Amino acid sequence: MSLDSKSTAPAHPTPEHGRTSALGSLLKLRELPVVLALVVLVAVTAAINPLFLSEQGIKDLLLNATILMILAVGQTLVIITRNIDLSVGSILGLVAFSTGSLFVAAPNLPIVAVFVLGMLFGAVLGGLNGLLITIAKVPALVITLGTLYIFRGINNAWAGGTQYFAGDRPEAFGNLSVDTALGFPVITLIAVVVVAIVAVYMLGTRPGRDLYAIGSDPDAARLFGIPVTRRVLLAFVVNGLLAGLAGVLYASRFNSVGATTGSGLELDVVAAAVVGGVAIFGGSGTVVGAAIGALLLTTITSALTALRVDKFWQQAIVGILILAAVVIDRIASVRSARKLRIAEARNV
């Protein structure tokens, strides 16, 4: 695979190729800024307002990040393949509303079954996106913009003015977002497990590496014999599945689910991934970075409120972060491309 192109994509070094250390340091570089930003933010906020890191404060921080984290992980898979899924907010809304309806229709349904059904429903919607994109060969931006409205329209037609409230759902289900295990809220642990599984998959498995290859250069990946269509479809299905999971968790955590649940969320998700070092044109970035990006974005909101900063500044600060992330990403990719070229030269 040629590395001399000026594209921002730093190609995909295969782990078994002795370049793991280069990749490792690259990973560190990509995630380091966002981790640092998070640490500084939390430290400064806690110094000014100690309540920020009280038991309740930490719990709130983690809970706030949970849903966005899961969505960001799914979105990262899709972005890495040089695609995007703008319909995740609508998928979340549909699944959240169907979770509410499910509990009303069958109050005794085991909670696990609701999770499974919600995730399956999400996977079907995600698969629909994937099929449209891989078969019609239309850019994901356009397809998922379309399904954003289609899914939301279905949600509107289905829900109408109906809303389901926390009181309509079993207490045990709502308590998932209240109870803690080992000091962590239960739903946050679910998110951490999701991040871990997907991270291992992306780092250590063939299909995971394939996703990077596809994002770096789809044509080369196809020539190389990678089943591009299948892999991209998989990325969309998993993203839908995770959006479904997020939808069920949304219903657990928040009070009402209805026709507008989750609208506008897609941009937060993409922002989290970008801030977490995922390159918007695919080929690089990690799910761990995206998860931390999600944590950073939600923590900023909480920190600024805890510091009594006018909330109108929040959006501007998020914007600055996105720009900073892009700049860092650019610097990182230029540096890594140079490094890889040198390594390549030595190998030959």
Partner 1 sequence: MRFIHSGTRRRAAFAALATSAALVLSACGGGAASEGGGSEGGSGSDGEQTITFIPKQLNNPYTDVVLGGGEDGASEAGFAESEVVGPLDASASSQVSFINAETQRGTNVIVIAANDPDAVGPALEEARAAGSKIVAFDSDTNPDYRDLFVSQVNAKDVALVQLELISEQIGGEGEIAILSATANATNQNEWIKFMEEELASNPDYANIELVAKVYGDDDDTKSFQEAQGLLQAYPDLKGIISPTTVGIAATARYLSTSEYKGKVALTGLGLPNEMRPFVKDGTVSEFALWDPAQLGYVAAFAGKALADGDITGEPGDTFEAGELGEREVGEGGIVLVGPPTQFNAENIDDYDF
Interaction of residue 24 with partner 1, rule CB under 8 A? no
Binding region for partner 1 (CB under 8 A) out of 10-18, 98-106, 112-120, 158-166: 158-166
On whether the CB atoms of residues 190 and 119 are closer than 8 A, the answer is no
Residue 299 interacts with partner 1 (CB under 8 A)? no
| Residue 157 sits in the site that holds partner 1 (CB under 8 A) | yes
**For residues 197-236, which are near partner 1 according to CB under 8 A?**
none
101: left (phi over 0), alpha (psi -120 to 50) or beta: alpha
Q: Is residue 161 at the binding interface for partner 1, with CB under 8 A as the rule? A: yes
The answer to whether residue 183 forms part of the interface with partner 1 (CB under 8 A) is no
Nearer to partner 1, 99 or 177 (CB): 177
CA–CA distance, 61 with 53 (Å, rounded to integer): 9
Q: Enumerate residues 25-44 that contact partner 1 by CB under 8 A.
A: none
Position 277 contacts partner 1 (CB under 8 A):
no
Site for partner 1 in 242-271 (CB under 8 A): 254-256, 258-261, 263
Q: How far apart are CA 208 and CA 286, in angstroms?
A: 11
Size of the site for partner 1 (CB under 8 A): 41
DSSP, res 273: H
Site for partner 1 in 42-61 (CB under 8 A): 49, 51-52, 55-57, 59-60
Q: Report the site for partner 1 in 60-79 (rule: CB under 8 A).
A: 60, 64
Structure tokens given for 94: 């549909």
* Residue 180 found at the interface with partner 1 (CB under 8 A): no
Least gap, CB of 166 to partner 1 (angstroms): 6
Give the angle 79-83-88 at the CA atoms, nearest 5°: 75
- CB nearer partner 1, residue 20 or residue 256: 256
**Separation of alpha carbons 174 and 252, rounded Å:** 5
CA within 13 Å, CB half, 9: 25
The verdict on 315 binding partner 1 (CB under 8 A) reads no
The window from 1-9, 170-178, 207-215, 285-293 that contacts partner 1 (CB under 8 A) reads 170-178
**Dist CA 308 CA 60 (whole Å):** 17
Whole-angstrom CA distances from 78 to 89, 223, 229 are 15, 21, 13
Among 110, 153, 204, 319, binds partner 1 (CB under 8 A): 153
Long-range contacts of range 170-179, CB-CB < 8 Å, 24 or more positions apart?
A: 170/103, 170/107, 170/111, 172/111, 173/103, 173/111, 173/114, 173/251, 173/252, 174/252, 174/253, 176/111, 176/249, 176/252, 177/63, 177/249, 177/252, 177/253
Q: Applying CB under 8 A, which residues contact partner 1?
A: 49, 51-52, 55-57, 59-60, 64, 153, 156-157, 159-163, 165-167, 174, 177-178, 254-256, 258-261, 263, 298, 301-302, 304-308, 311-312
